[in-house]
Every structure is written in structure tokens, then in C-alpha cells.
Amino acid sequence: MSDSQSDGGDCTDHRTAVTEAEVEALVRGICFKTGPPRALGVELEWLIHELRMPQLPVTPERLEAVYAALRALPLRSPLTVEPGGQLELSSPPAASLMECIGTVSADLDSVRAVLAEEGLGLVGIGHDPWHTPRRFLHEPRYDAMEACLDRTGPAGRHMMCTSASVQVCVDAGHEEPGPLGHERRWWLAHQLGAVLVAAFANSPLLGHEPTGWLSTRQLLWMEIGVGRAGAPPLGGGARAAWARHVLDAPVMCVRQDSGPWQVPDGLTFREWTRSRSPRPPTRADLDYHLTTLFPPVRPRGHLELRMIDAQPGDDGWVVPLAVTAALFDDPEAAETAYRSVKPLAERALNLPAPHNPLWTDAARDGLTDPELREVAALCFAAALEALPRLGATAEVTKAVAAYRDRYVARGRCPAHDLLDRLDGGGPPPSRPGRTGGTPTTHGRKDIRT
């Protein structure tokens, strides 16, 4: 959930009011930078926990102290803090998969060393299984975000404070059609995204109890709502669809120079440009508005794939990064992925992700769904063939193969390991207290704060 946004290199005065037509033109220009895929990136979110007893909350004072120490490190990847105190490392754009892995791995080694001195560690789980949402950052942006998201229920607070992910960033692609063309990559991201949700689901618990979903994190995103966390309809051109979506999405807040930010109810950016109230929107407001939209695929000049749960282990994040890079940037693998996911598109019923049956099945059932399992197997096979062509080391390729054998081939995902431990296959996470919950029509427990 990065706060930055490319300005597209234009000379627009960010303080000047913008019209509806100018907003549409700006969005089309800044959100899709087409060209040959050359760069790759990853954004890793982590929960921070006590090494001696992970179920104990880390006090705000300890988090403040450890973040002060971390900011002094000479990291190549920008380090940011999420609202609940989660740590995020965002790699610089890399020219290759191995460059990306090498940079982030070195930075993580440095981060873990500092955390270990304080008795803290990083944990890769898509949703915190121990703690209820508690905000660490108290800033006008997050005060306004919380007030806005609370209107649709408690899911927003969970998203802000107790979720973590692996976000893979790939170039938008060629202007021309073909396996690496930007229109096909846009379409592929929204269909393959469901397969990635299913294959890497790692958040089956809330309040130490199963929710009935293998990716509770993805469930939470769905519950935030279509306008805030949904994708635009596919078809009619990626640029045009995204520009309409941005204009018709609700404004989260109107920033103020002093005092609390205003949180309008139901005001879209399109309506704001027309009414020019409570004040005319500026280019800076547009840039900010773009950072308050959380679809599963967010165009930011490149494509930011936001649907993958944080992964277990020190280097579990390498596998989804490598698989995604191979399926998007190797032409042969991209063609195989495109053909493999086409049958899945029918299950989406032409509804935008993630609010359609395909994504719901992926988040709830993972690879126990036979069709998702079959497509995941085809995609992993294509990725494994492509990785040597992308310069991946034998170690990375071996890690992807091991993941395929342990999970994909068996219709499993890391969430099943957590559930097995809870059911007696090993020591489960210690229980800090009950969050409550009653059955709902979704076949899960209510998410309550």
C-alpha cells in the first residue's frame, strides 16, 4: 500500500485545478507506460512479532525504536511502515529477476539482523492469526482512511493493520498486440491473478480460528467494496477502462492544510471535478486519489499485482516472484499462461475481479478446486521451463520445483500447513483471546474488531 505515485514526467502544476477531461487524459498517460518489458520489482509486507512468543503484541514504543534503527540502515530498497506497524520493503526497478532477488535478499538480511538484536522477527502470513487490528500510525491520512473504510464494516481495519502480502510489479508491456502486449497482460493479470491467489493462499485464520477461507486476506479485500478495492470491467481498452474507474471511484478524503481531513460520503472524483466543492480538485489530489484505490491489479505506469498473500519462511517470497516474472516476461510462458487461463475466464461471468465467482472460489478453496489446480500445474510447468531463459539460478528454479511438488501437485497451499497445525499435526500458534464470530451466509465467521 505504497503512498507514492509516478507523475508521468509532465509539467502540470500540481496546485492547479483539473477538469474532468484533464483527469481522464492524465490517468491514461501516467498509469500505463508501454514498451518492451525490461524491469521487475517486488514489494514485501511483513508482520513484526516477538521472537520468544509471537502471540504477544509488540508495543508501539518498541516498534518506534526498531524503526528508528532500521531507517539508519543503508538499504537499497525503500523501507516504509504500514498503518498497523507492518514493515514493507519495495525493491528498486531491477533489470532481471536475479538482480531483484539479490537486492531484496541483502536488504532483508540487514533488517533481520537489527530486529533480532531487539528480540523481534519478521513473519510471512497473509493475515495476522493472533491479534485484532490496532493502528500504529496516527496521521491524518490514516485517520481519514479508517473513517472511510469503517463505513463498509471492520474489514478495512483488518486490511490496514493485520494483513501482509507479496506484490509483484511488472512492466505494462508493448503497445503492439501479442504475448507481451499491454492489453493482453492487463487481461492476463486479472485471470491469472485468481490462480496466484489459490496457489499462494496463506491466511486461513482470524483470532486463531479458521474462517473457512484459505485466503482470508483476499476475503477482506473483497469486503471493502467494489469502488475501493475492485477492478474495472475488462474490455474496451485498458486505458479507457481504468480512467473511467478512477473518475467513478469514491473520494476517500479531501486533504486539509491543518486539522482533520474531510471524509466525504459517496463523492466520486468525477462529481468532484464537476461540483468543485468543497474546493476544486487539483493534480495533487488526483495523484493522491490514485493511491487510495486498491484493486488486485493496479496500473502505476507498470502493473502492480497485489493479490498474493505473504509467504512463510525467510525466502518464501522468491517463489511467487519468480513464477509471476516467468509467466509475464517470457514470451513462451506468457502464451502458455494465456491459453491455460482462458477457460477460467468463463467462471468470472464477465464480472470484475475480485468480486466474481472465480476469485471467490480461489480465495475460499485454493487448489482444492480441480480446475484451478490443473491451471496452476500448467502455469508452474511453463514457469519452470522459462526460468533458465530469464537467467534464474539453479537454486531459484529448485525452489519453484519444490513448491510445485509440495503444494501445487497435491492441491495444497501454505494455508493448509497452518490448518494442519491447528488440527493437531503440530503445535498451533498460541491463542491470545477470542475475537468472536457467528456463521454467515458466506460460510465463514463474521469478521469483528
In angstroms, the CA 345 to CA 327 distance is 17
Report the chain's C-alpha Rg in angstroms.
21
Please check whether residue 434 lies inside any domain of the structure: no
DSSP code of residue 208:
T
pLDDT at 13: 54
Backbone φ and ψ of 209, nearest 5°: -120, 150
The sign of the dihedral angle between the CA atoms of 165, 171, 175, 177 is negative
> Mean pLDDT per 10-residue run, the chain (449 residues)?
38 76 95 93 97 89 97 98 98 98 98 97 96 95 96 96 98 91 96 98 95 98 96 94 97 92 96 96 96 97 98 97 98 98 95 97 98 98 98 98 98 97 59 31 39
Q: Is the peptide bond before 179 cis (omega within 30 degrees of 0)?
A: no
Please check whether residue 201 lies inside any domain of the structure: yes
Quick one: which of 148, 155, 160 has its CA closest to 265?
A: 148
Angle of CA points 190, 38, 359, to nearest 5°: 10
- Terminal Cα distance for the chain, rounded: 21
pLDDT at 271: 98
Contacts of 176 (CB under 8 A, 6+ apart): none
Please check whether residue 207 lies inside any domain of the structure: yes
Angle of CA points 312, 316, 320, to nearest 5°: 120
Angle of CA points 88, 89, 93, to nearest 5°: 140
pLDDT at 449: 33
Please check whether residue 441 lies inside any domain of the structure: no
Rounded alpha-carbon distances, angstroms, from residue 418 to 124, 175, 315, 392, 412? 12, 43, 18, 30, 11
Domain containing residue 79: 20-424
> 443: how many CB neighbours lie within 10 A of its CB?
10
Are residues 404 and 380 in contact, defined by beta-carbon separation less than 8 angstroms? yes
Please check whether residue 49 lies inside any domain of the structure: yes
Pairing of strands 209-210, 40-50: unpaired
Report the CATH number that the domain containing residue 276 is assigned in CATH. 3.30.590.20
> 21: how many CB neighbours lie within 10 A of its CB?
9
Please check whether residue 151 lies inside any domain of the structure: yes
Please check whether residue 128 lies inside any domain of the structure: yes
Please check whether residue 198 lies inside any domain of the structure: yes
Domain count, the chain: 1
Cα dihedral: 368, 369, 374, 375 (round 10): -120
The sign of the dihedral angle between the CA atoms of 255, 306, 352, 160 is negative
Please report the DSSP string for 77-139 in residue order: S-EEE-TTS-EEEEPPPBSSHHHHHHHHHHHHHHHHHHHHHTTEEEE--SB-SS---------
Are residues 349 and 356 in contact, defined by beta-carbon separation less than 8 angstroms? yes
In angstroms, the CA 313 to CA 333 distance is 27
Q: Tell me, yes or no, if the pTM score tops 0.85.
A: yes
